[in-house]
């Protein structure tokens, strides 16, 4: 049994939101993070910042800071021994929270801050208005924007599936077909779970897009305000990163919290932590209908806690992620998939959404919930982390359970990826990328040959009949045969003729 000095607890919560009337007075990401940290300190009755030995800051992409953690510490006049500028990934805030709590449990630190923030909305507005923001000079070299040629498989680059909004539809299409759904039924379910996010966001005072509530029809029906982005996803279904938001969480030991007189019902504990990841290249996945690492992580988290959660946060950058998670966990459709509001409606402050989810879940536990599941993911459904928080501690602080081997055991053989191909093949999955006016611009097919090899192929904007076959609402073309040929540029082309 751990002594109180080695039981880590969450004691302080803070969030910041900035909707400036005048873009010239907009708060920078550092401003917002400092505000959130001060709020977290006040939430824990103040006076904690001088005891902070560690600060973890989520990677900021809306403004270039040479050392954001150092900038924040200077602003707060604190000198923690450990100052971490975290790598970019959606699951990082929960991992950083776990690592900070583990450091408290080991007696390595007294207190820690886990924080992050973005001001992308203000940056976007200033760019449109050709206004220079009155913030410190940005060093954009520190914002290592992903170079598709350097980070993605050449086949992914060749066929133009570079961004998450174009890749996640592959999983949605394949999974819907695997579940026996028509495209209309699959999109309806995606709209229903997204509408649940909207309802939660409407109750969250820090949600950027929270009001008014968007119902299933408003989310699932195509309109000028809700254009098709990449089949089958409409604009209101996907993460929206243009926000000004920050969060902060203050962690310390139970002994220190008690010495400061913080009430027991305000303390939140770590109950379990589980992680695994998929192969980095999404073209090398064993399948698109499901995800072995997600399955392994959520099965393990459910086994640890007997699947007894009062509230959950299922990462929601795109509907397929919470849809898969909900089925894997056997959760009822009536249980909201988020305590925060989801990336489409709370907003998507890039790498720090789960920082806000930690705050929202902690508030829920303070209000009487016993156990909550935070499930985050990063990359192209690549990195998976489940963190379980509760109103009481475990006998011993939990170790991070890496279930990579379990994930590998669940993974099927990966199809051999081939480049140029001529002949018959069947559709494994696909998407159709639409232009800014919502019109189909390019279809991208993932297909399997008769020997089980995988290939990518294009369907051009001029192939109206083929694109119409791909976007039929009543029948999924997954499993349908077609012909592949190689054009003069060396690109595979698909046709149903």
Structurally, at CATH architecture level, domain 4-142+242-410 sits in 3-Layer(aba) Sandwich (3.40)
What's the CA dihedral at 488, 489, 494, 497 to 10 degrees? Answer: -10
User: According to the model, what pLDDT value does residue 143 have?
Assistant: 74
User: According to the model, what pLDDT value does residue 220 have?
Assistant: 97
Asked if 240 contacts 346 with a C-beta cutoff of 8 angstroms, the reply is no
Asked whether the predicted pLDDT for residue 3 surpasses 90, the reply is no
Asked whether the predicted pLDDT for residue 101 surpasses 70, the reply is yes
* Residue 273 bridge partners (DSSP): 387, 400
Q: How confident is the model at residue 1 (pLDDT cuts 50, 70, 90)?
A: low
Q: Can you name the CATH fold of 423-495?
A: OB fold (Dihydrolipoamide Acetyltransferase, E2P) (2.40.50)
CA dist 212 and 317 (Å) reads 20
pLDDT tens for 133-191 read: 999 988 887 776 666 667 899 999 999 999 999 999 999 999 999 999 999 999 999 99
Domains 4-142+242-410 and 423-495 fall in the same CATH topology: no
Q: How many residues make up the chain in this entry?
A: 497
Q: Where are the domains of the chain?
A: 4-142+242-410, 423-495
The two structure tokens encoding residue 452 = 């089980």
Residue 391: phi and psi, rounded to 5, are -85, -5
């Amino acid at each position: 049994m751990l002594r109180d000095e080695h039981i880590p607890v969450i004691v302080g919560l803070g969030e910041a939101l900035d909707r400036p009337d005048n873009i010239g007075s907009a708060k920078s990401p550092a401003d917002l993070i400092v505000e959130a940290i001060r709020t977290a300190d006040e939430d824990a009755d103040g006076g904690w910042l001088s005891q902070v030995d560690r600060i973890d800051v989520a990677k900021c992409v809306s403004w270039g800071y040479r050392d954001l953690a150092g900038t924040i510490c200077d602003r707060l006049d604190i000198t923690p021994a450990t100052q971490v500028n975290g790598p970019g990934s959606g699951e990082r805030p929960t991992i950083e929270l776990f690592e900070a709590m583990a450091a408290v449990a080991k007696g390595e630190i007294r207190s820690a801050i886990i924080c992050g923030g973005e001001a992308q909305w203000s940056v976007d507005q200033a760019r449109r208005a050709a206004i220079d923001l009155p913030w410190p000079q940005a060093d954009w070299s520190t914002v290592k924007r992903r170079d598709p040629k350097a980070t993605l498989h050449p086949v992914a680059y060749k066929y133009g599936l570079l961004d998450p909004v174009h890749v996640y539809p592959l999983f949605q299409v394949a999974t819907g077909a695997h579940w026996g759904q028509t495209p209309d039924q699959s999109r309806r379910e995606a709209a229903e779970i997204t509408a649940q996010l909207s309802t939660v966001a409407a109750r969250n005072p820090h949600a950027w897009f929270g009001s008014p509530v968007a119902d299933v029809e408003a989310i699932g029906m195509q309109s000028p305000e809700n254009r098709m982005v990449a089949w089958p996803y409409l604009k209101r279904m996907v993460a929206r990163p243009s926000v000004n938001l920050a969060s902060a969480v203050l962690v310390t030991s139970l002994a220190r919290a008690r010495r400061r007189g913080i009430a027991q019902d305000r303390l939140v504990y770590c109950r379990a932590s589980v992680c695994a990841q998929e192969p980095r290249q999404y073209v090398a996945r064993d399948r698109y209908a499901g995800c072995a690492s997600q399955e392994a992580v959520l099965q393990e988290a459910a086994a640890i806690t007997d699947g007894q959660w009062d509230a959950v946060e299922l990462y929601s950058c795109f509907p397929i992620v919470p849809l898969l998670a909900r089925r894997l966990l056997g959760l009822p459709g009536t249980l909201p998939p988020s305590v925060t509001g989801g990336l489409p409606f709370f907003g998507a402050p890039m790498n720090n959404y789960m920082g806000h989810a930690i705050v929202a879940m902690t508030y829920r536990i303070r209000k009487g919930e016993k156990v909550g599941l935070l499930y985050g993911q990063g990359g192209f459904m690549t990195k998976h982390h489940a963190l379980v928080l509760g109103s009481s501690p475990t006998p011993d602080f939990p170790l991070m359970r890496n279930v990579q081997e379990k994930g590998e055991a669940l993974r099927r053989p990966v199809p051999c990826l081939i480049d140029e191909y001529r002949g018959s093949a069947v559709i494994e999955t696909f998407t159709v990328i639409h232009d800014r006016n919502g019109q189909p611009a390019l279809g991208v097919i993932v297909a399997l040959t008769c020997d089980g090899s995988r290939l990518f192929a294009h369907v051009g904007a001029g192939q109206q009949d083929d694109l119409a076959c791909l976007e039929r609402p009543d029948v999924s073309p997954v499993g349908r045969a077609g012909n592949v040929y190689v054009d003069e540029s060396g690109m595979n082309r698909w046709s149903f003729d």
